[in-house]
Structure 1
Amino acid sequence: MLADCEITSGSSTHGLIAFDDPGRFPERDALKISIVITVYNYERYVGLAIDSALNQTRPADEIVVVDDGSIDGSRQIIAGYGDRIRAIFQANQGNIAAFEVGYREATGDVLLFLDADDILMPTAVENVAAHWREGLSKVQFNLELIDGAGTPLGRSFCAFPTSYTSQDVHEEFIRSGTYIWPVMSGNAYSREFLRQVIPLNPPVGYDGALNTIAPLYGDVVTVQAILGQYRLHGRNISRNDAQGRAQRFPDFPRQIGFRVAEFDILKAHCDRKSVHVQSARPIDNEIVFINYRLASRKLGLRYVAQEMDTSSSLLRRGIWLALTETTQWRTAASHIVWFTALLLSPSWFAYRLIMLRFNRAELLRPLLRFGSVIRRKHA
């Protein structure tokens, strides 16, 4: 649970958070931008990720690729790029260690961490540079969702509100302890921010912990454009259980535990920066974790602080967040219908609903292919 902290005035543009003085930040033309790609057994995708980093309209100043002891063909693919990238090969130590190696080896003022199964659009670096200014902790941007074969799924992540300014992020963060942020590949971080907080000892990966505390260390700028592609496939970390085995839907209690641990990190940094966040329990303000908690209850799975919830209280909270935190009525309606159906369904049917929700791209693919065939025949 997040404890209250005192507010101090400082050099933030909002006058609420005291940022450490980073010194003179480089002018935009002199801004050095690094792309760091971490890889473990992604021979199918790593070449696409590297190509996307190399084919930028504003070239990155360096591309660092950290292979974390891959035992497939990833190493050979990486080596084939020669001196166009800086390759680091190490024994397998896990994604947290690979991230930290990439951070230490990169020399940019701004660092983009690209997962090896994701892709950057050609104008990603150009857009980051154009939006960068002194006092930022990060620039974040939208990602198009694609499947394992690279087919667009017709959705974006995070689908930010039409207007989502740094001031909006700051006010939402101070009120709720959270804000809208994408996965790792949708962020470009200030080295000064990273220098102040690494190592973080995150529970699962660095993106959740870094994004959770980023507003404490500088402004967050949101770019509405889709500047990358986030790949959904059977090996996404969020779908793995504690033994690393891929599951048909997330291990809800495990993911809830990770998020609680990330909010514990937020509490520590809130104390460190003497910042007060108004919400006593930020996880109550994230609709995805209302979903995970209600799904856990329907499946009979125990999770952290379960005794503080009831199914009806989670339904009420989910409806409230859908009505107050979503910007499109269709999105709000879909959340409300989902939460209501999940609550009212018997356990056996709730399981099938959850399977459908988290595998809809796979389950709908045959119908989409059939539709394409029909359209071609009538073209």
Structure 2
Amino acid sequence: MDTPLPSDAQRPTGAGASPAAPKLTVIIGCYNYGRYLPAAIDSVIAENVCAQIIVVDDCSTDNSRDVMRAYGSQITPIFQPVNQGVAASFNAAFAQATGDLIYFLDADDFVLPGALKQALSRYEPGVLIYHYRMRYSDETGALAGIHPAPQIPLAAGDISRQLREQGRYATNVTSGLIFAREGLEKVMPISTEHYRISAEGYLVSVIPLYGPTRAHEDTLSAYRLHAAQNWKSQADFGARARKGLQHDFNRYEAIRDHAGRLGLPVVPTLGDADLLHLNDRLISLSFAPEHHPVAGDSIGQVVKLAKSVVLEGEGARARTARQAWWTIMGLAPAGLRRQLLRWKMDPQSRPAWLASSGRFLRKRLGVVLR
């Protein structure tokens, strides 16, 4: 049975109730991000929280290793002998980590001032993942909006059942997450075959099976947007969607594996209630149906499944907008559907009138399409 984490009102207070200050390890994985790496390292050092800083270079061909050497004893460097991907970097660094809390910071992101001190003050023994929001940043470091959008409630508490029934919950990418060592010890090492990229997707998919999580509205770090990002750098929308689908298949397999170890049931069709997964199926069917990896799938089936999904915390306006979007996807001719999907996936391609409409929906109506 899923047991909810006690509310704030239920937690013990008074003398002796506060947990000991946790030790923090920050792990920065880098591959050809030498131009961004100093900002990442400096942002951690500036927090003055006595964190262990481990920087892993995944056999970069730029100046990343020279940047690392310049920090001397301020960091623990790990130089991978060959390029192995993100999971291998996580595994190598975790083997040397000493912290009670582990923060995986992408080398192209950076910590916001005061964020790590605030995060450490929120430490709760037994909590396995802390979910935070992030600020968007451009290549120069200038801050913009918030990710995920404030209208999307981050999942918290005991989300084991949600994982086992839907396959996903609302969380953040790598630099918006802090993990408890005790949770990581239950699920590491990460498969280097399945998670060359987006290794945090594995961690957030299995750790909540072992214990509770917390969500905080604070912004922890900056999510730097640039053309070289793994997902954004792939212009072939069909191929990008298939990569996302394969990542999901790997996550679902991991959920079943760890749930099985715990004797917990998992629904046989996890992806059918996972909106982001359904969106990738829609894109794959729309742009490259001949390469679609889900046998017997169809636009009509995907739309029907998406419209039946119930999202916890979703407001009436947001649900109406989402239902309308998926109805349009089911009725639109193939050419129009592909154009609408291009605009959704690539904001820079949107005409001015559409961009303005999107801002209105977000600001005035609190609507974010999912």
TM-score range, shorter chain: 0.7 to 0.9
1:136: which partner in 2? Answer: 127
SS of match in other structure, 1:59: coil
Deviates more, 1:246-255 or 1:109-118: 246-255
Report 1:79-98 matches (<5 A).
79-91=69-81, 92-98=83-89
Q: Which amino acid aligns with 1:166?
A: G
CA deviation profile, 1:127-184 (whole Å, cap 9, x unmatched): 32222222122111112233334344534226475585414x3453354343222111
Secondary structure of the corresponding residue to residue 57 of structure 2 = strand
Residue 348 in 1 paired to residue 335 in 2? yes
1:269 equivalent in alignment to 2:258: yes
5 Å-filtered alignment, 1:18-167, equals 28-56=19-47, 59-91=49-81, 92-157=83-148, 159=150, 161=152, 164-167=155-158
Q: Which runs of 5+ in 2 are unaligned?
A: 7-16, 356-370
How has the CA–CA distance of structure 1 residues 95 and 165 changed in structure 2, closer, same or farther, with 3 Å as cutoff? closer
Q: Aligned letter for 1:102?
A: A
SS in 2 for 1:355: helix
AA paired with 1:142?
A: R
Q: Deviations over 1:4-37 (max 9, x none)?
A: xxx6x9xx6669xxxxxxxxxx974431111100
The reply on whether 1:319 has 2:307 as its aligned counterpart is yes
* 1:176-233 deviation per Cα after TM superposition (whole angstroms, max 9, x unaligned): 3432221111111111221221123162242111100111111111112221122232
* Structure 2 residue aligned with 1:179: 169
1:150–1:303 CA distance, 2 compared to 1 (3 A): farther
Alpha carbon RMSD of aligned pairs, Å? 3.0
**Do the aligned partners of residues 306 and 146 (structure 1) sit closer, same or farther apart at CA in structure 2, a change above 3 Å counting?**
farther
Q: Does the 8 A contact of 2:155 with 2:170 survive in 1?
A: no
Cα distance between partner residues in 1 of 2:206 and 2:154? 22
Cα deviations across residues 340-371 of structure 1 (Å, max 9, x unaligned)?
Answer: 33333333333332322222147679x99xxx
* TM-score between both structures, scaled by the size of structure 1: 0.79
- Note the 1:332-371 alignment, pairs <5 A: 332-361=319-348
8 Å Cα contact 2:55-2:77 kept in structure 1 = yes
Verify: 1:191 aligned to 2:178, yes or no.
no
SS of residue matched to 1:105:
coil
Measure how far apart 1:108 and its partner are.
Answer: 0.6
Structure 1: where are the runs of 5+ without partners? 1-6, 16-25, 241-245, 369-379
- Using structure 2 for the length normalisation, give the TM-score: 0.81
Q: Name 1:303's counterpart in structure 2.
A: 292
Distance (whole Å) between structure 1 residues aligned to residue 185 and residue 156 of structure 2: 25
Partner of 1:290: 278
- 1 or 2 for the larger relative contact order (CA 8 Å, sep ≥6)? 1
Q: Secondary structure at the match of 1:43?
A: coil
What secondary structure sits across from 1:134 in the alignment?
Answer: coil
Partner of 2:10: none
Contact 2:28–2:106 under 8 Å retained in 1: yes
- Following the alignment from structure 2 to structure 1, what is the Cα–Cα distance between the partners of residues 123 and 273? 29
CA–CA separation in structure 1 for the residues paired with 2:261 and 2:202: 15
Compared with structure 1, are the counterparts of its residues 60 and 212 closer, same or farther at alpha carbon in structure 2 (3 Å cutoff)?
farther
The 2-side partners of 1:361 and 1:152 are apart by 18
1:66 and 1:88 in contact (8 A); partners too: yes
Query: Taking every aligned residue pair, what percent have the same amino acid on both sides?
Result: 26
Deviations 1:44-73 (A, max 9, x none): 2111111221122x6142111111111112
Q: 1: CA distance between counterparts of 2:254 and 2:160?
A: 18
